[in-house]
Amino acid sequence: MSDVTSELAGDQLTLDEYFADFDKQFWSTEGRNCWKVERRQTFVEQGSTSYDAFIRGDWPRALELLDERRPNIQEYYSRAASHGIRIYRVRVVEEPISAYLIWQLNSLRQRSELGENTRIIDPDKVAGLERRVELPEIIGLGQDVVYQVIYGSDGAAQRAVRSTDRTNVEHWWKIFTDLYEGGEDMAAFFDRSVAGLRPLNAR
C-alpha cells in the first residue's frame, strides 16, 4: 500500500453540507455498502449524551446511556439492511488504550452486536501508509464517493472533503479492504483487551 497525504483532493464542505450530502447519498442507492477508517485516538463527540457523561467522569451513567440508545441504533441498522446496505469499519487502536477509546469501543461493541461489521487493527498495520502524515479519517459509500472529515487538534470535526474521482475512491477502497482483511473481530478484541476497563477519570 502506498502512503497517504494529509487531505483528500475534492469538494470542500461545511459540516452541515457534509451531513446532508452523506445522508442523501447513503439512502439513495440500494445495496451500496458504507465503510469507514478511523485512526485518531481521541475525538470530541458532539451531541452524544453518553459521551457527555463519560467526560464528566460518570462512567456508570455513560454505559447506561449507551444501553438506552440500543433500540434507536437497532432501528438504524435494520433500516440499512432493508436497503441492502452493510456497514463496515476499521478502527486503529493504540496501546495503552486512551480514555476516549475505552468509551468508544464500548459503543462500537454495541454497534457490532446490532449489525455493524467492525475490525480492530494496531498501528503497525498502517505504519507503511504513514511515512508522511497520520492516516486521515475516511468514510466511503461503495466505490462511488469518499469523504474525509477534517478535525481540529482537540478532536472536534471542523469540515469535510468529498471526492467522486474514480482514482481517489478506488485508492481508498483498496486501503480499506486491505486493512479490514487483516483486522481482528470487534467482539474478540473487546473481550480480550477492553472488557472491564474504566477511564482514569471515572467514578
Phi-psi region of 47 (alpha: psi -120 to 50; beta: other; left: phi over 0): left
Residue-wise pLDDT for 17-54, tens only, equals 999 999 999 999 788 899 999 999 999 999 999 999 99
Note whether 10 and 165 are within 8 A (CB): yes
DSSP for residue 118: E
Taking the C-alpha atoms of residue 166 and residue 145, their distance in angstroms, rounded to an integer, is: 8
Q: Please report, for residues 2, 92, 177, the alpha-carbon distance to residue 127 in angstroms, rounded to integers and kept in the order given.
A: 11, 11, 16
pLDDT over 70 percentage in the chain: 97
Q: State the average pLDDT over residues 84-91.
A: 97
Question: Listing from the earlier edge strand, what are the strands of the sheet with 145-151?
Answer: 11-14, 157-163, 145-151, 137-141, 34-38, 87-92, 117-121, 184-185
Q: What is the pTM of this model?
A: 0.94
Q: Which helix (H) or strand (E) element contains residue 140?
A: strand 137-141
Check residue 6 and give its pLDDT. 64
Domains in the chain with CATH codes: 11-193 (3.30.870.10)
pLDDT(72) > 70 = yes
Q: What is the rounded average pLDDT for all residues in the chain?
A: 94
How many residues are listed for the chain in this entry? 203
pLDDT(93) > 50 = yes
Check residue 1 and give its pLDDT. 44
Confidence of residue 201 (pLDDT cuts 50, 70, 90): confident
pLDDT(202) > 80 = no
Residue-wise pLDDT for 7-24, tens only, equals 788 999 999 999 999 999
Residue pointed to by grid coordinates 494496531: 122
Q: Which carries the bigger pLDDT value, residue 203 or residue 92?
A: 92
Check residue 24 and give its pLDDT. 95
pLDDT over 90 percentage in the chain: 89
Closest listed residue to residue 165, CA positions, set 149, 143, 148: 143
Residue pointed to by grid coordinates 455498502: 33
Backbone φ and ψ for 77, nearest 5 degrees, come out as -70, -35
Closest listed residue to residue 5, CA positions, set 143, 131, 125: 131
Residue pointed to by grid coordinates 497525504: 5
Q: Which helix (H) or strand (E) element contains residue 13?
A: strand 11-14
